[in-house]
């Protein structure tokens, strides 16, 4: 059975500084989920020094509908000293955590101000951050690795930065992700890339699939207008390009939907 696009676990509200859109509130997000026929939504505002998880909890209590459930998550970051942006106890208390390790455009936070611009330095740093994360004691079953191929990993040379990962390096990383039970996020717009670049950004996801990693959808909306293309421009093309089946889905998703349905 084809992977059913029934969830979105990476959605920003107005509390994220890069949204700051008064229309982007949980009620509007729930309306999107209902309209799109989704069953499970997770908020994932940026957990940064000024927006720690207790601050982000201002979104609670979350609205719910009969057909669509909303859970509380966050997009956790990692600083230049490899410290996660939230204490592990706060991450454990989340319903779901999206973990972003490739926001390397955030100078003076994820990297020092004088960090070199070249693709190789960015790729090596991203790789080190991935292995560090995967060495931690986290509730990985309810976490996901955000936008692995995101251009922000190296704004000067993003495709080359991904190309610099050898297959063996990707296998090393995604075997650990699989073994920890962490999800792999589907979060890119295939139509934005040339054929060659699309092969580059899909390669990590294809390696992940070949190793038996489990996937979840992360639309990464920051504004209500972003929702329009989540399924049509991002998820359905990605599901087809990767040939994803329902069995490739992160187990957290059907388990959480079933639990919330039973609680009703
Ligand atoms: Zn992000
Ligand atoms: Zn995000």
Task: Tell me phi and psi for residue 217, to 5 degrees.
Answer: -90, 135
9 CA → ligand 1 middle, Å: 12
Q: What pLDDT is stored for residue 219 in this prediction? A: 98
Within 8 A by CB and 6+ apart from 135, the residues are none
pTM for the model: 0.98
Q: What pLDDT is stored for residue 84 in this prediction? A: 98
Q: Which residues of 217-227 are buried (b: 16+ CB within 10 A; e: fewer)?
A: bbbbbbeeebb
User: How far is C-alpha 32 from the geometric centre of its chain's CA atoms?
Assistant: 19
Q: What pLDDT is stored for residue 120 in this prediction? A: 98
- Strand residues in the chain grouped as ranges (E): 7-11, 40-47, 69-76, 96-99, 143-145, 183-186, 214-217
Instruction: Please answer whether residues 246 and 215 qualify as being in contact, where contact means their C-beta atoms are separated by less than 8 angstroms.
Output: no
Domain boundaries of the chain, sorted by first residue: 7-263
Quote the longest CA-to-CA distance of the chain.
53
**Whether CATH 3.30.365.10 fits 7-263:** no
Q: What pLDDT is stored for residue 264 in this prediction? A: 75
147 CA → ligand 1 middle, Å: 7
Q: Distance between CA atoms of 144 and 237, rounded to whole angstroms?
A: 20
Q: Distance between CA atoms of 213 and 230, rounded to whole angstroms?
A: 22
Q: Which of 34, 76, 18, 77 is closest to 26 using CA atoms?
A: 34
Q: Residues in the chain with pLDDT < 70?
A: none
262 CA → ligand 1 middle, Å: 32
Within 8 A by CB and 6+ apart from 106, the residues are 77
Instruction: Please answer whether residues 194 and 202 qualify as being in contact, where contact means their C-beta atoms are separated by less than 8 angstroms.
Output: no
77 CA → ligand 2 middle, Å: 10
How many CB atoms within 10 Å of residue 193?
Answer: 16
Instruction: Please answer whether residues 71 and 84 qualify as being in contact, where contact means their C-beta atoms are separated by less than 8 angstroms.
Output: no
Q: What is the pLDDT of residues 71-102, one digit of tens each?
A: 999 999 999 999 999 999 999 999 999 999 99
Q: Distance between CA atoms of 44 and 163, rounded to whole angstroms?
A: 28
Rg (CA), the chain: 17
Torsion of CA 55, 149, 185, 4, to 10 degrees: 140
100 CA → ligand 1 middle, Å: 6
13 CA → ligand 2 middle, Å: 10
| Residues whose Cβ atom is located within 5 A of ion ligand 1 | 100
């Amino acid at each position: 059975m084809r992977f059913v696009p029934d969830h979105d676990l990476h959605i920003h509200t107005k509390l994220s500084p890069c949204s700051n859109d008064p229309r982007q509130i949980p009620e509007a997000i729930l309306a999107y989920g209902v309209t799109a026929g989704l069953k499970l939504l997770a908020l994932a505002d940026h957990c940064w020094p000024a927006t720690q998880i207790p601050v982000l909890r201002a979104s609670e209590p979350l609205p719910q509908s009969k057909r669509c459930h909303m859970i509380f998550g966050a997009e956790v970051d990692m600083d230049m000293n490899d410290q996660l942006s939230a204490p592990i106890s706060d991450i454990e208390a989340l319903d779901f955590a999206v973990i972003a390790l490739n926001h390397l455009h955030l100078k003076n936070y994820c990297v020092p101000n004088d960090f070199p611009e070249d693709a190789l330095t960015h790729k090596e740093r991203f790789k080190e951050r991935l292995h560090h994360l995967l060495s931690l004691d986290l509730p990985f079953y309810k976490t996901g690795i955000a936008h692995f191929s995101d251009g922000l990993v190296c704004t000067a040379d993003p495709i080359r930065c991904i190309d610099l990962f050898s297959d063996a390096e990707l296998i090393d990383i995604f075997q650990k992700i699989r073994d920890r039970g962490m999800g792999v996020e589907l979060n890119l717009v295939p139509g934005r890339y040339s054929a060659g670049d699309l092969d580059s950004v899909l390669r990590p996801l294809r390696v992940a699939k070949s190793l038996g990693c489990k996937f979840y959808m992360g639309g990464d909306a920051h504004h209500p207008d972003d929702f329009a293309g989540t399924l049509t421009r991002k998820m359905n093309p990605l599901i087809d390009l990767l040939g994803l089946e329902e069995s490739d889905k992160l187990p957290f998703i059907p388990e959480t939907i079933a639990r919330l349905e039973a609680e009703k």
